[in-house]
Structure 1
Amino acid sequence: MTVGGENLGGAGRVELLGAIAECGSITQAARLVKMSYKAAWDAIDAMNNLAGQPLVERLAGGKGGGGTRLTPRGRQLVDNFRLIEREHARYLRQLGSQAEGIADDLLLIRRMAMKTTARNQFLGKVAELKPGAVNDEVILALPGGQQIVAVVTQGSSDSLGLAPGVEAFALIKASSVILVADGAGARFSARNQLAGTVTRVQTGAVNTEVVLDLPGGGTIAAIITNHSAVEMEIAAGSHLTAMFKASSVILGVPA
């Protein structure tokens, strides 16, 4: 839930407001939602500031004692949030019943919205994870049958929850990709070697971007110097191999 692009809060904060309306006490409400008294007031202050008007107000002591209650705006916010929750749940149920595979497409749309400076973005599943003394070697299987090898720290591997079968992203900058025209019989230290066919060549003032089509429908882009592009006679239809080190691969997992 946002107001003017600012995060006002989600179900947790609205649950706190609802508890205040029910209990009439910030202390009891905080205890009910398992929140400290200070954290509850910090949340209320933040919501009041972002809303531009009080959502919660204190009651002066008297015959019935003091307390805390929602303002009319606060009650409206709780009611509207619960209405939105019900409509959202109904919308998801309707989507689920309309078409097979729609959930997969929703996930795909979310992936396509991801923004990153890495020119090459691949989605696959962890085929193998080899623990090391400091770093782990992760082999990612791509839908086209290729594999990408990445070397990450054990801390990163643990925090991402990487394990065989886990879906993950591989990000590789185009400047980290080396193109080889004829590597027959040669040995290279780069673990990743993806063969493909040149489909696009875009020449700039200093560098040239080369895009290769990979088997299975994927692509990979490389940034090389104009001199290298001329020397290698790179053109649409050329068969090249894109190489990059395992240490050049950044891994991520869907949120």
Structure 2
Amino acid sequence: MTELSSPVMRLIADEGGRQRGKGRIELLEKIGEVGSISGAAKALGLSYKAAWEAVEGMNNLSDEPLIIRVAGGKNGGGSVLTAFGLQALSAFRRLEGEYQQFLSALREREDFDKFFHLMRKMDMKTSARNEFLGRVKTVNKGSVNAEVILDIGGGNELVAIITQESVDNLELAVGKEAYALIKAPWVIIMAEDSNLKTSARNKLCGVVSRCQEGAINGEVVIALDAGKSVAAIITNESIKSMGLKEGVRACALIKASHIILAVMA
């Protein structure tokens, strides 16, 4: 049996002492029941977009995909939990009771409320649409800045340029687990067969899994290997001029200076 990594269980975060990640766990469970993300979103009162973003986020933070798309069937396909996803769901349900017992014991301490709320303030949430979890592969130190290469799985790597001071503060070293945060407007999309040369150090290629136009800008999501995905916000004009739509191969370009690294305290 594959051992569940701590990042998967870290997906398990919310407020006020409720189970960590309960909303995402409920989404996982409902997808397993109904066999589709749209059906699960409707049942839980979520928008289809919010449900998809939650699924992409979970897959990006997990060592293995938790949910995959399937083709065919009487309804033309849907989404199912992988064996790893079923294991994660089962593990969460087993821990649920113990977690509540743990909180009950903590609440008996008179200083619990004061320090619990302090810890919650330190439980950071970000506005970055793309969040990847990986391990530091290389740290090349310079006099001011450092180059950090993060292995995010599936044969994909991200190169980040951060200050030497940040490397020291985050205690980054080879083998250490770290998060890469990338805002969607910072991601540039180009056709995979383009001959253009760019200064962007990072190039992640795959198949467009979602393409949704807005009033001026649209969101493009590229499915990478190993269940990962990267989202970009680009103009509708760019979407049309590049012929972007589901099933088209494309690449996401990300400047090394546009990647924020973070670690669990």
TM-score range, shorter chain: 0.5 to 0.7
Counterpart of 1:56?
none
Partner of residue 150 from structure 1, selected from 151, 154, 160: 160
Unaligned runs of 5+ in 2: 14-19, 22-122
Within the alignment, does 1:193 sit opposite 2:195 as a pair? no
Change (3 A) 1:252 1:103: closer
Q: State how far apart, in whole Å, the 2-side matches of 1:149 and 1:102 are.
A: 23
Q: State how far apart, in whole Å, the 1-side matches of 2:264 and 2:201 are.
A: 25
Deviation at 1:114, TM superposition (A): 5.6
1:91-117 deviation digits (Å, cap 9, x = unpaired): xxxxxxxx9648564334259686210
**Larger radius of gyration between Structure 1 and Structure 2:** 1
The aligned amino acid for 2:236 is N
Change (3 A) 1:151 1:102: closer
Counterpart of 1:109?
12
Counterpart of 2:231?
221
Partner of residue 168 from structure 1, selected from 171, 175, 178: 178
Q: State how far apart, in whole Å, the 2-side matches of 1:105 and 1:147 are.
A: 20
Deviation at 1:122, TM superposition (A): 0.2
Deviation at 1:187, TM superposition (A): 1.9
Within the alignment, does 1:118 sit opposite 2:142 as a pair? no
Unaligned runs of 5+ in 1: 1-98
1:60-109 deviation digits (Å, cap 9, x = unpaired): xxxxxxxxxxxxxxxxxxxxxxxxxxxxxxxxxxxxxxx96485643342
Superposition CA RMSD, Å? 2.1
Q: Look up the SS of the partner of 1:201 in the other structure.
A: strand
Deviation at 1:235, TM superposition (A): 0.5
Counterpart of 1:252?
262
Q: Look up the SS of the partner of 1:164 in the other structure.
A: coil
Deviation at 1:183, TM superposition (A): 4.5
Change (3 A) 1:119 1:133: same
Q: State how far apart, in whole Å, the 1-side matches of 2:7 and 2:174 are.
A: 20
Within the alignment, does 1:178 sit opposite 2:188 as a pair? yes
Q: Look up the SS of the partner of 1:125 in the other structure.
A: strand
TM-score (norm 1): 0.58
Counterpart of 2:212?
202
**Further displaced range: 180-189 or 135-144:** 180-189
Counterpart of 1:133?
143
